[in-house]
Amino acid sequence: MSVELADFPDPYLKQTWGELNVECYLSTDDAGQKQVRAVLGYPAAGMHGALTAALGEHLGEPISLELEFVAPPSAKSIPGVKHIIAVASGKGGVGKSTTAVNLALALSAEGAKTGVLDADIYGPSQGMLLGVAEHRRPDVREVEGSQRFVPVRAHGLQAMSMSFLVTDKTPMVWRGPMASGALQQLINQTLWNDLDYLIVDMPPGTGDIQLTLSQSVPVAGSVIVTTPQDIALLDAKKAIEMFTKVDIPVLGVLENMSVHICAECGHHSHIFGADGAATLVEAYDQVLLGALPLDLEIRELSDAGKPSVVNDADSDVSQIYRDAARYMAARLWQRSATSSAPTIQFSDD
């Protein structure tokens, strides 16, 4: 740890790099310019320029920066995956699946090896969101006497979804235990390959699938997706309470459809209400990871299988997703130093 950088405040966390035990070094090259090498526990390739400027200002002179990402160690996970993050909502229709895939793609763009698992057994949508052809099926490989799925590759992600195993015309008329069993198979019989993060797109609600994931998989953290609308916030509260009861940390809240900006005149309209997520995070001592506008292009790109983050990496919407992904990963890194893997706890209240 460089003494000069020990009191540098992390851009996302209310702690200094010294308090976070960031591995960082300060040296001077042959031309006399200061060089900084820092190893962060969250991917941050997209803020290299901003960090370079901030560090230079902190040190009082221009610097060059070598930035490295090393995923924090995890006490327990599944083979081939370091950290599992559940993206959930208490209510359907709030853009959770679109958020999940864009967060996964954002983590990948920031420099992390990332996968996405579609845990919505009844209504899988990740195949469509990722632009995977309907006839595409995952390869099957025999490993130690058992058959394993090889994740489908899409936009640089490793992906697995029930939509890869059935057609979009096949209804999943299953009772809860059958759906829960299918989810466990998708998770544990997939050959995930050295992932830093596996983003799990959860179905809406707080039912069997959520309980199965909590009980059978060491989930490192969760993200709650909501809109500013009162009814969505009510269900988002239930989702936060559920993860709290099963001792899975909530890494933050992401608000969708926060404001509509008129393409003609630029007028801002809070169609679903204003400051809903801000009030929610304050009440539950959480953080707001970001706020996405009600944007027609987000829907159009999602339907076309070209999520915002890969379609236009420099757009305002993509930058919001990438900032939220960095913030989310930073919060997980911060917790990993002091928290062990989640355990399941139940109470009667």
The domain ranges of the chain are 3-69, 81-336
The three-point CA angle 109-113-115 to 5° equals 95
Of 64-73, 182-191, 252-261, highest mean pLDDT = 64-73
Which of 97-111, 161-175, 238-252 comes out lowest in average pLDDT?
161-175
Alpha carbon separation from 152 to 3, 141, 160, 257, 308 (Å, rounded): 46, 13, 6, 30, 20
The DSSP symbol for 133 reads: -
Pair 116, 126: CB distance under 8 Å: yes
Average pLDDT, the chain: 86
For the stretch 197-246, pLDDT in tens is: 999 998 877 667 777 777 778 899 999 999 888 888 888 999 999 899 88
For residues 75, 78, 80, 85, the Cα torsion angle rounded to the nearest 10 degrees is -80
For the stretch 50-105, pLDDT in tens is: 999 999 999 999 999 999 999 998 877 889 999 999 999 877 788 899 999 999 99
Q: How far is CA 318 from the centre of its chain?
A: 14
* Longest CA–CA separation in the chain, Å: 69
Pair 151, 234: CB distance under 8 Å: no
Q: Are strands 34-40 and 23-28 parallel, antiparallel or unpaired?
A: antiparallel
Q: How far apart are CA 337 and CA 52, in angstroms?
A: 25
CA-closest candidate to residue 255, choices 239, 222, 232, 283: 232
36 or 123, higher pLDDT: 36
3 sits in the region (left: phi over 0; alpha: psi -120 to 50; else beta) called alpha
pLDDT above 70 covers what percent of the chain?
89
Q: How confident is the model at residue 1 (pLDDT cuts 50, 70, 90)?
A: low
Q: How many residues does the chain have?
A: 349
Handedness of CA 35, 39, 44, 46 (dihedral sign): positive
98 sits in the region (left: phi over 0; alpha: psi -120 to 50; else beta) called alpha
Instruction: Using the predicted structure, report yes or no on whether residue 183 has a pLDDT greater than 90.
Output: no
Residue 259, token pair as written in the block: 């404001």
Determine the pLDDT at residue 267.
67
Handedness of CA 238, 106, 115, 331 (dihedral sign): negative
Which of 109-123, 146-160, 257-271 comes out lowest in average pLDDT?
257-271
Determine the pLDDT at residue 15.
93
**Architecture of the domain defined by 81-336:** 3-Layer(aba) Sandwich (3.40)
